[in-house]
Chain A
Amino acid sequence: MPQRWERVRQLGKQVGKNIKVFHVEKRLILLDSIRFEINSIKTSFPPGTFVWDFRLAGTDIPFGDVGVVPDERVASYKWEGKLPSRERLEQIARQQSLALNQRPNLGPRLILYLIQWGTPLLLIAIGGYWWWRTRRQ
């Protein structure tokens, strides 16, 4: 479906909720009907709006939690007035996923570790020296 997209709305009412640990909610919803809305978006965005597009994830996102969708199934782009085609979306998602998962080269990685672990270690060393000197005095 290159230019066709169906937004599926599951219409129903919640009949139970079971709270699980660590922000996982399980909801029991009694399904009344399903409505397919062809090529429809809920609102029109102003041009330039930053959009996260989850169409590649399909309609089976568990509990509607977009956080569980793998990176390669999510595309982000700036809104230009119309929805990009599915092929274009897959291309964007693939590029973005590659860029996101690309491990930095050894040099930058070492610098990051140096910042992450080196700065607190340096501060601890300085504090240790001050403590040692204060005790001696």
Chain B
Amino acid sequence: MTSAALLLLREGKPIMMINSLLIIDSFLMTGLLSIIGLRLNGLLKPTSEEANWAAWGLTLLVALAAAISVLGRMSPEFVLRTSLWALHNALSPWIWIFAFLMTNLSFTTAKRVRWFHCMAGGSLLGIALLTTMLHASGIKLINYSQVYSFQGYYRPHGILFTPLEAGLVALLSWAWGLGWGVQQGWRRVAGLLLTGLSTAVVYLTFSRSAWLGLSVALLVGFLFARYQKALWVPLWVTLATFLLCSVGLPLGWQRGVYAAQGDPSVQNRLELWMQMPSHLIRYPFGITEVYSDTIEEYMAAGSTVNFYLDIGVQYGILPLVLLLGIVSVLGWRVMKCGKHGMPVGLWGLGVIATVVCLVFMNPIADSLAMALLGGFWGMVSAMEVKPHEPPRLHPD
């Protein structure tokens, strides 16, 4: 694709590169993140009917991209041969934002779509957990093109792209388990089972980023448990399951120790992060592989294995600032509501866990994981926003 580019030079060396097509992407990402920001601050108020239509429309796009992503894993030939992959690539950069707005709208105003999102999201989380457990036990439903292993142990990921995504999605189902685990009746039993199963999946993926996310969320959870006593049980279930898995398969801890003993993937991440300030100055509107004209630009467009910094790399400074702002607002709300013993605090532990996890990974290649992540964040953001008022809504 041809595009106009502006190259600023100092002493013959390029210091800033601005590409017209990159500006379009950067502008769109800035606009979408601004919409989320305005919505979080209550500055966008659609009518019920408008919200309903918008939520259904976004659901269609998200479902389409997620379905192609999964189909591409099961039958790559078919997806490549048809134009489905091109369609997926056109949608994939925006999927998590679409999913965020989709559930945010449905959980505040559109009841029927909300029911659909709960059912579809819950089913997909369940399938992701189940297939990961089957993969761990040696039953492969997909002919995987890549194998992730550590010292002879094959790290499972089920229908998800890599064990990193499997760990991330398990953190979401863990939070779902907590949300149900504090309720009464069959939901309590199902919630505790889900908490245990999700914790086991987090452990079995050997994803250190997911482990770290779970650890931080667990610590925050213990803080919240002081205000909501029922939370103690699911938290102890989490801790007990993790300990049991550690005893049964202690190899996972060796991978953790390896991180501190010069693991190249960790050092690589640290080195890339240190280069971010100069990178952002040079590419203020970001750089992606698609629009890179030189090998230098192509190399610069590589992933930093950090979701937030990758937004900066690909879309520039403004989207990065907006994203960090959105995450801060979400985290602040979860902390505030959690200290008041509100349900959003429990569900928000999933947000805290994934926010930490995303510092060490970027699931953008897996539209299913991105859809579940964006949808979950959107759902939590639509829950109670005023801690001193009675709960307005919480997912069933």
Which of chain B's residues has its CB closest to A77's CB? B77
* Cβ contact within 8 Å between B272 and A130: no
Q: Is A126 an interface residue (CB 8 A)?
A: yes
* Cβ contact within 8 Å between B32 and A124: yes
The stretch among A3-11, A14-22, A80-88 that forms the contact with chain B is: A14-22
Nearest Cβ on chain B to A27's Cβ, whole angstroms: 10
* Cβ contact within 8 Å between B32 and A23: no
* Cβ contact within 8 Å between A50 and B28: no
* Cβ contact within 8 Å between B43 and A131: yes
* Cβ contact within 8 Å between A131 and B44: yes
Which residues on the A side are within 8 Å of B271 (C-beta)? 19, 21
Number of interface residues of A (CB under 8 A): 33
* Cβ contact within 8 Å between B267 and A112: no
What separation, in Å, do the CA atoms of A49 and B142 have in the docked complex? 11
* Cβ contact within 8 Å between B35 and A127: yes
* Cβ contact within 8 Å between A108 and B145: no
Of B93, B98, B272, the residue contacting A22 (CB under 8 A) is B272
* Cβ contact within 8 Å between B24 and A134: no
Q: Is B31 an interface residue (CB 8 A)?
A: yes
* Cβ contact within 8 Å between B275 and A21: yes
What separation, in Å, do the CA atoms of A22 and B268 have in the docked complex? 8
* Cβ contact within 8 Å between B275 and A50: no
* Cβ contact within 8 Å between A130 and B83: no
Which residues on the A side are within 8 Å of B80 (C-beta)? 100
Of A25, A99, A112, A120, the residue contacting B264 (CB under 8 A) is A25
Q: Is A30 an interface residue (CB 8 A)?
A: no
What separation, in Å, do the CA atoms of A124 and B33 have in the docked complex? 9
* Cβ contact within 8 Å between A22 and B302: yes
Which residues on the B side are within 8 Å of A19 (C-beta)? 264, 267-268, 271
A99-123: which have CB < 8 Å to B? 99-100, 104, 108, 112-113, 115-117, 119-121, 123
Which residues on the B side are within 8 Å of A23 (C-beta)? 268, 302-303
Number of interface residues of B (CB under 8 A): 43
* Cβ contact within 8 Å between B143 and A115: no
Known: A124-B31, A124-B35. A119 touches B94 (CB 8 A): yes
Residue-wise interface mask of B (239-282) relative to A, using a CB-CB cutoff of 8 A (1 in contact, 0 not): 00000000000000000000000001001100110010000000
**Main DSSP-derived SS at the B contact region:** helix
Residue-wise interface mask of B (124-161) relative to A, using a CB-CB cutoff of 8 A (1 in contact, 0 not): 00000000000000000001010000000000000000
Known: A112-B90, A120-B28, A127-B38. A50 touches B61 (CB 8 A): no
Which of chain A's residues has its CB closest to B30's CB? A124
Of A50, A104, A113, A137, the residue contacting B145 (CB under 8 A) is A50
Which residues on the A side are within 8 Å of B303 (C-beta)? 23
Known: A49-B143, A123-B32. A117 touches B24 (CB 8 A): yes
Which residues on the A side are within 8 Å of B272 (C-beta)? 21-22
* Cβ contact within 8 Å between A50 and B45: no
Of A22, A104, A117, A133, the residue contacting B83 (CB under 8 A) is A104
Known: A19-B268, A21-B271, A117-B24. A134 touches B44 (CB 8 A): yes
* Cβ contact within 8 Å between B87 and A115: yes
* Cβ contact within 8 Å between A124 and B28: yes
Which residues on the B side are within 8 Å of A135 (C-beta)? 43
Q: Is B200 an interface residue (CB 8 A)?
A: no
Q: Which has the most chain B C-beta neighbours within 10 Å: A23, A52, A100?
A: A23
Q: Is B46 an interface residue (CB 8 A)?
A: yes
* Cβ contact within 8 Å between B83 and A108: yes
Which residues on the A side are within 8 Å of B275 (C-beta)? 21
Which of chain B's residues has its CB closest to A18's CB? B264
* Cβ contact within 8 Å between A134 and B43: yes
5 contacts between A and B (CB under 8 A): A21-B275, A23-B302, A124-B34, A127-B31, A127-B35
Given contacts A108-B83, A124-B32, A127-B35, could you give 11 more A-B pairs where the C-beta distance is less than 8 Å? A19-B267, A104-B83, A116-B90, A117-B24, A119-B61, A120-B29, A120-B31, A123-B35, A123-B101, A124-B31, A134-B43
Q: Please list the residues of chain A having a beta carbon within 8 angstroms of any beta carbon in chain B.
A: 17, 19, 21-25, 49-50, 52, 76, 99-100, 104, 108, 112-113, 115-117, 119-121, 123-124, 126-127, 130-131, 133-135, 137
Q: Please list the residues of chain B having a beta carbon within 8 angstroms of any beta carbon in chain A.
A: 24, 28-29, 31-32, 34-35, 38-39, 43-46, 50, 54, 58, 61, 76-77, 80-81, 83, 86-87, 90-91, 93-94, 97-98, 101, 143, 145, 264, 267-268, 271-272, 275, 299-300, 302-303
